[in-house]
Structure 1
Amino acid sequence: MIKDIRVEGLQRTEAGTVFAALPFRVGDTYSDEKGAAALRALFATGLFKDVRIEVESQVAVVVVEERAVIASVDFTGTKEFDRETLIKALKDIGVGEGQPFDKALADRAEQELKRQYLTRSLYGAEVVTTITPVDRNRVNVTFAVSEGGVARIRDIHITGNEAFSEGTLLGQLDLTTGGMMTWYTKSDRYARTKLNADQETLRAWYLNRGYLEFNVESTQVAISPDKQDISITINIKEGQRYTVTGVKLTGDFLGKEEEFKQLVKIRPGEPYRAEDVANTQKAFTDRFGLFGYAFAKVELVPQIDRNTGRVQIALNADPGRRVYVRRINVSGNTRTRDEVIRRELRQFESAWYDGQRIKLSRDRVDRLGYFSEVDVDTNEVPGTFDQVDLTINVKEKPTGSLMVGANFSSADKFSFTGSIKQDNVFGSGNYLGIEVNTSKSARTLVLSSVDPYFTRDGISRSLDVYYRTNKPLNSQGEAYELVTPGAGIRFGVPFSDYDTVYFGAGVERTSIRSATALPENFYRYRATYGQSSTSFPLTLGWQRDGRDSALVPTDGRYQRINLEWGAFGDTRYLRSNYQLQQYFPISKKLTLGLNAEIGHGMGLGGRAFPIFKNFYGGGLGTVRAFDQNSMGPVDVTGAYIGGTKRINLNSELYFPFPGTGNDRTLRFFGYFDAGNVWGDNETPTLASFRTSAGLGLSWISPVGPLKLSWGQPIRKFAQDRIQRFQFQIGTAF
C-alpha cells in the first residue's frame, strides 16, 4: 500500500500535472501494471524526456527529466519567404516559442522548409538546424538557409503527338522555357502542381477535338547536377478521333425530358467535344438545382465504336433528393461587414435550394469588387436528409485605388490627372472619392460619395460636389476660361438583378471669364445670355453590365444611357449619351473588344445649346493619336470649342505579351479608332470621320489599369493636332 507519492526533477511543470497523470493514489496498492501505465501517461504529456518510478518503504518516487522548452525560433538567409509566415507555419507543426522541444519535430520542420523551397523551384536550397541551450532548460532553434539559385526550365518536349505539332501543344502550356518576360510571369519555374495543370490542359485540348481516348502516358522531369536546369518530357497517346452519332437521356429527369433536351450542347455529326459535354452536364445540374436538387449527378456514358471512329453519348441523371437551405454562413471577410455581403444574396435561409439564385448571389458578391475570390460551399447538415448549409467564402483585397495619368502636348505641356478612391469605406460598402485634373485647358476638383444601399430595398444615393475650369485649346490673346462650381444628387433604382435606372438633379453656375479675345461663339453666347448661367439639370440613366470581368473582360456586354435635361434656370437643353461595349473571346489567347459611343445635345425652348455643355473628342477614350479635346469645330480665333454631336468607334484586339504565356494582366493590343465631333449646324458624315490605328500595352498594375498607346492617324485634316503617344493609369476605352 502506498503511503506517500513524491515527485523529483520538476523545474517548470506543476506537480499537479504529474499527479493528474498517475493511475494510482495514496492508499492504493502499487503494481507493475500500474507503474507501466503511469510511465505511458507521463510520456504522453510530451513534457518529459525521461521518467522512472521508484518505490521505497511504501513511498512512490516519480523522477522526471523535463524536455527543454523552445525559447526562440529564428531564421537566417531566408529571402524567398517572409519570416513571420515561416514562424507561423512551424508553430502549427509544434516548433514554436514556448513549446516543448522535440528533436523529431525539429527534423520535420527542417524537411518542411526544404519542401517549401522546392515549390519555388529552389532545388539547391539547404537547411541546417542549430540547437543552442540557454538558461532554465531552454533552447534556441535556428534554421540557417542557403537558398541557392532558382532552377529554371531549360527545355520541354512532348512525344507521341501526330495530329498536332509540338509547337502548337507547347503553346497551350503555362510552363515555358526562359524568355524575355519570364522574370514577370515566373512561368519558367517548375512546380509539380503547374505540370499537373498543364497535363489537364493538354487533355482538354485533345478532348475538345474529338480525341476521346487521349491519355498522358508518363512525364519525366530531369534536373541538372548543379540543380539549376530542368528538362521536362511529356509522353502522350492521342488515340483516334471520334465523331458523335447521337445523344440520348437515361435515368430520372423528373418527367421533364423535353425541357432537358433543349439544354443539350452536343451536336451529332460533329467531332466529340469535352467542353460541350461538360457544359451540358453543368446545364443539367443547374436545372436540377432550380427544382431544389442540390446534389444531382449527371454521368457521361460513351458508347464507342473503334472500328468506325464513332461514339454514341448517353447522359444518365440521378437527381438525388430535394433539399432546402438551413443556414447561410459568411467566411473570410476580415474587413467587410456581414450585412454588406448578405444584402447581395438572392438565396434565402429556410427556403428551397435554388441553384440559379445561388449563382446569382455569388456573382453579385463578386461584382462588389471588394474581394479577389468568391466561392460558395454546399454542405449537408449532419443527421438530416433534406437540409444543407451554404458558406460564402471571400478573400478580401485592397479597395482603395490611386489613379494617375499624364499627357504632353505643345499647348498643355505636361498635365496630370489623379484620384484617390475608397470603394469600401470602413467595410461599410460605401464609396468616397476625390478626383483632380491639373490640365492647363481643363482643371477639375470633384468630391463624390455613394451609398449603394441608401434604402433597404437597394436604392443607391450618389452625392457630387465639383469645381471645374475649362480653357479651350489654341485661344489667342488674353486667356479666358469657363468656371463651373456645382453639386448633384442621384439615386439608382434596381429594376432587376441586372438593370439599374438612375435619376437625379443638380445645380451649377457657369461663368465665362475674359476681358478680350473671346472666341466668337463664346462672345455671342455671353452677349445673349449673360456672363453667368445658372442651371438645374435633371438626369436619367440606365445601365446593364454583363461583362465577365470589369478589369480584364474577355466576354460579355456593357451598356449605359445617360440623359441630362436642363429644365429650369438660365439654360434649356437636352444632352444624351449612349455607350455599348462588346467583348468576343476569339481563342484562349485572343480577345476582341468593341466600343461605340454616341452623344447628342440640343437647345430647347428657342434657346441655343449651352456652349459649355459641348462634347469634345480626341485622345484616350475617344480617337487616339489625336490631341486631347482637339476634334470638332474650330473658332475663328483658333480655339477648339467642341460640338453638339459626337461619335466614337473603337476596336481593340488583345493578345498576350510575348513570354507571358496565358497571363491576362499584361497584354498587347492593336487598335483602330474612328470618330469626330460636329457642331450644331453640321451633319455627321463618313467623309468627316477621323481615323487612327496603332499598338498599345495594357497592364493591371498595383495602382490600377495602365494603358499605353502609340498610333498613327489614317484620316486627318489640316487643323487636326496630332499626339501619337498617350498613356493613362485607371482608364478603359
Structure 2
Amino acid sequence: MLATAAALAAPAAYAVTPFVLQDIRIEGLQRTDPGTVFGALPFRIGDTYNDEKGAAALRALFATGLFNDVRLEVDGQDLVVVVDERPVVASVNFVGLKEFDSDPLVKSLRDAGIGEGLPFDKALVDRAEQEIKRQYLTRSLYGAEVVTTVTPLERNRVGVTFTMNEGEAAKISDIRIVGAQAYKESSLLDLFDLTPSGWLTWYTKNDRYSRTKLNADLEKLRAWYVNRGYLEFSVESTQVTISPDKQSIAITISIHEGQPYTVTAVRLEGDYIGKDDEFRSLVGIRPGTPYSGDAVAETSRRITERFGLYGYAFARVDPRPEVDREKGQVALVLYAEPQRRVYVRRIELAGNSRTRDEVIRREFRQFESSWYDGDRIKLSRDRVDRLGYFSDVSVDTNEVPGAPDQVDLTVKVEEKATGNLMLGAGYSNAERLSLTASIQQDNVFGTGNYLGVQVNTSKSQRTLVVSTTDPYFTQDGISRAVDVYYRTTRPYNSLGDNYDLATPGFSVRFGVPFSEYDTVFFGAGAEMTKIGTSSGIPLSYLNYRAMYGETSYSVPLTLGWQRDRRDSALVPTRGRYTRVNAEWSFIGDVRYLRTNLQYQEYWGMPFKTTLGVNAELGWGQGLGGKPFPIFKNFYGGGLGTVRGFEQNSLGVVDPTGAYIGGAKRLNMNASLYFPVPGSGNDKTLRVFAFGDAGNVWRDGESVDLGTLRASAGLGLSWVSPVGPLQLSYAIPMRVEHNDKIQRFQFQIGTSF
C-alpha cells in the first residue's frame, strides 16, 4: 500500500493504519547529509507510525529550508521519504555596482540567507533586491534599477547575479522656506547641512537628499526660533518633489513662526532637598530676556547633574512655561522631583574582549559602594573614551531589584583596532619627498601600554625611533615613556647632500597627572652628537667641531607642564592649550638650558568662524662657560612659524648660506577660520586669514622686537585622508633685504 503526503491530509477514510516501522528509506538526496533528514524525523525504526507523526515529520523537514518538496510514502512496514532538494547558491555576483563596496554587500546578503553554499530561496532574493533598491534611494539614486538573474548550473546549483543600473544621483535644485517673516530666508537656509548644488557639493555631497539629514536640519531650524523666543514655532509641512527624470529634487518647508516671548520670571518648585539657593545659582535664564530653549535645557541639565552630585540618580526637572499670549510673556517654572538617593553597588564591564578590565576600571572616578555621583560618572566615561581603544563608550544605570537605594552601572564599550601599520610618503616644498614607515600598537596585549617603531626620512632629517609608554606605571596614574633613537640631520640649505650630524640616544620620561587636564612631565636621557666633515658642511659647525671636538656627550634632564582644554586636537574651535618644557644638561661635554613656552587659545565667533591665537617663546643658554650648542638651535620661518618666509630661513645664516637657526625664538600667530562656501558645517575643510610675526636670534644676542618679521595672507586647512593638509599664500609685511621669500607654502601634517 502506498500513501502520499496528500493522503495524510485527506479525510479519515484514507488515513494510514498505524503500524510498527521496520525500515526508513530516503530518496532524492544529492548534497544534504542523510543524518540531517533522520535527525528531523520525530520517530525511529521500531516506533509506531501514524498520521500525526507523519504530519509532524513533514513540518520538521520543510522547516529545515533545504527542500522544495517532501513526500512520505508507505511501502508495507517501511516508510519512504522522498525529497526534492532546493538548489544551492554557487556564486553571488554584482554587475554595474559603483555606489557601494561589494564586500560589505556580500556579507549583508549572506546574513540575510543569500550566499555561496546556502540553499536558494526565491523569496529571500526578491526581498534582497528590494532592499538594495531602498539603499540606493538613501543615496538619492532614485533612477537606480536592480535586476536579479538566476542561472541554473550543474549539480543542482544556481548562480545569482544582481545587475545594477545606478544612473545619476538626484541633486537638490532648490530649498524654500515659506512663512518666514522675522528672519530672512537666506539666513535660515545657512543653518542647513542640505544645500542646492554648488561648486563644492561634489566633495561634500550635501546636495543629495536624505530624510535623516532633512529632519536634522528642521530640528536646527526649530531650535533657532525657540532660542530666540518663538516658543510656539512649528513646521507645518514639508514637501519633497522629484522631477520626472528623477534627477532633481525641490524641497518646500512651510513654517509657523508664532510670536516671540520674553521671560518675566523663573521659579523653582518641587523638592530641592533644602538647597534652593544653591540650585537657583545654576539658573542661566534671566527675566527680561527672550525665551531660549537651549538655555532652559542647559539649566535643567545643570540642576539634574547637581542632584546627581548628592546621589539622586533618577532626579527629574520638568520645565513648565506659563504663557501669556496677549502680552507675549512667559513665566518659567522648574519643577524638581529628586526621587530617591542611591549608591552604586557594582560596576560591570561589557564588550571588552581584548582589553583587560583593569585598563578600564583604573580610569573610573566613580567607585563601588559609594554614593552615586553624576559628575564622576561622566568624567569616568570621558576618561575611558579618551583612551582611544574604543569606538563607543556608554554607561547605563540599572536599578537593583528589591533594593530601591542601590544601582548598578554597566560600562559598555565597542573595541576598535588599536594597531597601526603605516607605509607612506609626504611632500612639502621645504622637505621635498619624505618617506615614513611605522608600526604601532596602542593597547599591547590589552594592557593599555603603547609600543611603536617609527622610521622617517626627509631632505634634512632621518630618524629611527623605538618607543614604549606605560600610562599606569604606578597605580596612581604616573606614566612612563622610554625612547631609543638614532637621528641623522643636516642644516637647511646646506651645500652638500650628506648628513652632517648623527645623534644616537635614549630618554625616559614620567608624567604625573595633577588634575584631569594638567600633567607634569620629568625625565632624563643620554645622547651623543657627532659632527661630520662632509663637503659643504656649514662653517659654523666646523668651528664648533674644532673648539669642542668631533663628538659631544650630554645627559639632558627634562621638566615640563601641559594643560589641554581644547575641544579637538586636529580641528579646535574653542579651548586653551598651554605648554612649558625645559631641557637641562649639566653633565657631559655639552651643558646648556633649553626652554620652550607655548600658548594657544580658540574662540567660537559669529557666522561659524573661529579665532585662534598662538604664541611661542624658545630660549637657550650655554652653561659652564660654553656657548649654546649649535645643534640645539631653534628655527623660524615657514609653516608653523612665520609664513611667507622660506622654511627655517630666519635667524643666523652661515657664510656658506646654510640656515643654522638661533638660541632664541619668538613666534606669534593669529588666524580666523571660516567654512569653505558650499561645504555646509564641515569643519575638516576650512579657509583662514592669518597674520604672523616672529624671528630667531643668535646666542648672546638680545631679543629685539624691532627686528621681528611679519606677514599676512590666506590659507586652506583640510584634514585629508593622508593627514592634516595646510596651504598658505602670504605677503611679507616686515622684511629685510636679505630675507628669503616664499609666498606659497604647503605641508601635510603641520600644526596651527
Give the alignment's TM-score, normalised by structure 1. Answer: 0.88
Residue 347 of structure 2: SS of its match in structure 1?
strand
Question: What displacement does 1:649 show?
Answer: 0.9
The residue aligned with 2:99 is 80
2:379 to 347, 355, 360: 360
Alignment of 1:535-550 (within 5 A): 535-550=554-569
1:629 and 2:640 equivalent? no
1:257 to 242, 259, 276: 276
Query: 1:344–1:601: structure 2 CA closer, same or farther, 3 Å change rule?
Result: same
Query: 1:417–1:263: structure 2 CA closer, same or farther, 3 Å change rule?
Result: farther
Answer whether contact 1:289 1:353 (CA < 8 A) is retained.
yes
The residue aligned with 2:19 is 3
Question: What displacement does 1:606 show?
Answer: 4.2
1:683 and 2:702 equivalent? yes
Residue 209 of structure 1: SS of its match in structure 2?
coil
* Residue identity matched to 1:103: K
Per mean C-alpha deviation after superposition, the further-off stretch among 48-57 and 630-639 is 48-57
The residue aligned with 1:279 is 298
Query: 1:207–1:81: structure 2 CA closer, same or farther, 3 Å change rule?
Result: same
* Residue identity matched to 1:268: P
Question: What displacement does 1:123 show?
Answer: 1.0
Per mean C-alpha deviation after superposition, the further-off stretch among 494-503 and 383-392 is 383-392
Answer whether contact 2:173 2:250 (CA < 8 A) is retained.
yes
1:120 and 2:136 equivalent? no
1:722 and 2:724 equivalent? no
Matched residues, number: 724
1:451 to 469, 483, 500: 469
The residue aligned with 1:108 is 127
The residue aligned with 1:615 is 634
Residue 280 of structure 1: SS of its match in structure 2?
helix
Answer whether contact 2:262 2:288 (CA < 8 A) is retained.
yes
Per mean C-alpha deviation after superposition, the further-off stretch among 618-627 and 100-109 is 100-109
* Residue identity matched to 2:321: P
1:394 to 411, 414, 419: 414
Cα deviations across residues 115-137 of structure 1 (Å, max 9, x unaligned)?
11111111111122233444555
The residue aligned with 2:489 is 469
The residue aligned with 2:510 is 491
Alignment of 1:310-709 (within 5 A): 310-321=329-340, 322-324=342-344, 326-331=346-351, 340-348=359-367, 351-371=370-390, 373-380=391-398, 383=401, 385=404, 386-394=406-414, 396=416, 400=420, 404-408=425-429, 414=432, 416=434, 418=436, 420=438, 422=440, 424=442, 426=444, 429-439=449-459, 442-453=460-471, 455-457=473-475, 458=477, 459-471=479-491, 473=493, 481=500, 483-513=502-532, 529-587=548-606, 589-634=608-653, 640-709=659-728
Question: What displacement does 1:663 show?
Answer: 0.8
Query: 1:68–1:644: structure 2 CA closer, same or farther, 3 Å change rule?
Result: closer
Residue 600 of structure 1: SS of its match in structure 2?
strand
* Residue identity matched to 2:183: F
C-alpha distance in 2, partners of 1:57/1:467? 91
Question: What displacement does 1:47 show?
Answer: 4.6
Per mean C-alpha deviation after superposition, the further-off stretch among 109-118 and 583-592 is 583-592
Residue 303 of structure 2: SS of its match in structure 1?
helix
Question: What displacement does 1:195 show?
Answer: 1.0
The residue aligned with 1:169 is 188
Per mean C-alpha deviation after superposition, the further-off stretch among 42-51 and 104-113 is 42-51
Query: 1:58–1:447: structure 2 CA closer, same or farther, 3 Å change rule?
Result: closer
Question: What displacement does 1:2 show?
Answer: 0.9
* Residue identity matched to 2:234: N
Cα deviations across residues 172-231 of structure 1 (Å, max 9, x unaligned)?
111111122212111111111111111111112212222111111111111111211111
* Residue identity matched to 1:570: D
Query: 1:402–1:254: structure 2 CA closer, same or farther, 3 Å change rule?
Result: farther
Question: What displacement does 1:443 show?
Answer: 2.8
Per mean C-alpha deviation after superposition, the further-off stretch among 137-146 and 157-166 is 137-146
Query: 1:347–1:513: structure 2 CA closer, same or farther, 3 Å change rule?
Result: same
Query: 1:461–1:48: structure 2 CA closer, same or farther, 3 Å change rule?
Result: same
The residue aligned with 2:203 is 184
Residue 296 of structure 2: SS of its match in structure 1?
helix
Answer whether contact 1:362 1:374 (CA < 8 A) is retained.
no
Answer whether contact 2:67 2:86 (CA < 8 A) is retained.
yes
Query: 1:731–1:349: structure 2 CA closer, same or farther, 3 Å change rule?
Result: farther
C-alpha distance in 2, partners of 1:431/1:685? 44
Q: Structure 1, unaligned stretches of length 5 or more?
A: none
Residue 91 of structure 1: SS of its match in structure 2?
helix
Query: 1:192–1:587: structure 2 CA closer, same or farther, 3 Å change rule?
Result: same
Cα deviations across residues 450-499 of structure 1 (Å, max 9, x unaligned)?
31336242322231423243436578x99995554433222222233322
Per mean C-alpha deviation after superposition, the further-off stretch among 266-275 and 126-135 is 126-135
Question: What displacement does 1:67 show?
Answer: 4.5
Answer whether contact 2:429 2:746 (CA < 8 A) is retained.
no
Query: 1:589–1:381: structure 2 CA closer, same or farther, 3 Å change rule?
Result: same
Amino-acid identity (%): 55
The residue aligned with 2:7 is none
* Residue identity matched to 2:589: D
Cα deviations across residues 530-558 of structure 1 (Å, max 9, x unaligned)?
55432221111111211111111111111
Question: What displacement does 1:635 show?
Answer: 5.8
* Residue identity matched to 1:107: D
Query: 1:503–1:134: structure 2 CA closer, same or farther, 3 Å change rule?
Result: same
C-alpha distance in 2, partners of 1:81/1:520? 60
Query: 1:619–1:726: structure 2 CA closer, same or farther, 3 Å change rule?
Result: same
Alignment of 1:210-229 (within 5 A): 210-229=229-248
Question: What displacement does 1:376 show?
Answer: 0.6
Q: Structure 2, unaligned stretches of length 5 or more?
A: 1-16
Answer whether contact 2:645 2:739 (CA < 8 A) is retained.
yes
Per mean C-alpha deviation after superposition, the further-off stretch among 691-700 and 605-614 is 605-614
Query: 1:24–1:528: structure 2 CA closer, same or farther, 3 Å change rule?
Result: closer
Residue 553 of structure 1: SS of its match in structure 2?
coil
* Residue identity matched to 2:473: T
C-alpha distance in 2, partners of 1:451/1:395? 20
Give the alignment's TM-score, normalised by structure 2. Answer: 0.86
Q: CA RMSD in A?
A: 3.5
Per mean C-alpha deviation after superposition, the further-off stretch among 485-494 and 540-549 is 485-494
C-alpha distance in 1, partners of 2:305/2:360? 23
Question: What displacement does 1:595 show?
Answer: 0.9
Question: What displacement does 1:615 show?
Answer: 2.2
